[in-house]
Amino acid sequence: MTAVSDSALPQRDDQFFEELYAEHFDFLVAVAARKFRVPECDAEALAHEVFLSYLRKSHEVLNIHSWMLGAICNASRYYWRQNGRMVEPLDDDKAFERPDPTTTRILDSLPDQLAAREALEGLMLRDQEILKMRYFEGCSIIEIGQRLGVKAKYAQKLLTKVLRRAERNYRRKGKQR
């Protein structure tokens, strides 16, 4: 949470804004690109938009670091929500001409993939949600804790347990095949 010591608003002049941009821009790009796998050029546009959106709030934001970080994480997730489904439709003829390299040896990996899917589907909804947060949305342990309303330490324990459960399910399904 916002520390009390941050409660004094900084003097906002040209130098302040310039330093803010210079110090944080690359960091925000890094968070979007590394943590959320946003393509780097889009990550830059997102980071820039975060700075611009901060300007209307600059008189209210007490903890700039926290605000910027929250804004880029939120923006990155929104980016994937908006762009995740916007995949160009597949042209069937071209697909036959140039098969997807990831599917050329699919028969070798398919049983494993199916076993993995079944293993995940065999988990409780909350467990699935935890894995989705961690490995799909890229949430940190702290963020998972916040979303679940538990402490980070407990969130870490939950994640470890869920992984073990998934692994057990996977082995069982694998053996059945």
Query: Which residues are at the interface with another protein (CB under 8 A)?
Result: 1-2, 4, 7, 12, 14, 17-18, 21-27, 29-31, 33-35, 40-41, 44, 46, 48-53, 55-58, 60-63, 65-76, 78-79, 82, 140-143, 146-147
**Between 27 and 165, whose beta carbon lies closer to another protein?**
27
Sign of CA dihedral 70, 141, 122, 37: positive
Task: Name the token pair of 12.
Answer: 């906002």
Residues near 33 by Cβ (< 8 Å), separated by ≥ 6? 39, 40, 43
**Between 78 and 177, whose beta carbon lies closer to another protein?**
78
**Between 61 and 131, whose beta carbon lies closer to another protein?**
61
CB of residue 126 to another protein, shortest distance in Å: 15
**Between 26 and 121, whose beta carbon lies closer to another protein?**
26
CB of residue 10 to another protein, shortest distance in Å: 13
CB of residue 138 to another protein, shortest distance in Å: 11
Cβ atoms within 10 A of the Cβ of 43, count? 23
Contact 75, 46 (CB under 8 A): yes
Q: What gap in Å lies between CA 128 and CA 133, rounded to an integer?
A: 9
